[in-house]
Amino acid sequence: MKESMVMAPSRVYERFWANKWILDGCASLTEMAHGLREAADELEDMAKSGRVAMQGDVDNGMVMLTTTDPVVAEDFGFDRSEDDDDYYESQGELYGN
């Protein structure tokens, strides 16, 4: 009989994105344009990775970005989800952590 294996689910990493911080501290139109361009480039790079999801409604200018890819998380400054930490602590014995 084949032994059943329980696989640990992927860890979740997240990053809070708020549009209001993009222009924080800008003192000129040039600085504003630079801040917006940098933010757009970063979002495009995340989209190109194909590994970042957007959680929530961006209408209020804030959104939670998530990934389960640890390399993408490190590249874009994501942190382990607090909910994920709680889950793994509660499941530690099951997954041998």
- Report the DSSP pairing between strands 13-18 and 62-67: antiparallel
**For the chain, what is the domain count?**
1
Is residue 2 a part of any domain in this protein?
no
- Which residue range forms the structural domain that includes residue 41? 13-95
Say what the pTM is: 0.73
Domain presence at residue 8: no
* Model pLDDT for residues 18-62, shown as the tens digit of each residue: 988 899 999 999 999 999 999 999 999 999 999 999 988 888 889
* Residue 6 placed within a domain: no
The residue written with tokens 């979740």 in the block is 12
Does 3 map to a domain?
no
Domain membership flag for residue 82? yes
Domain assignment present for residue 7? The answer is: no
**Would 91 be classed as within a structural domain?**
yes
Q: 54 lies in a domain?
A: yes
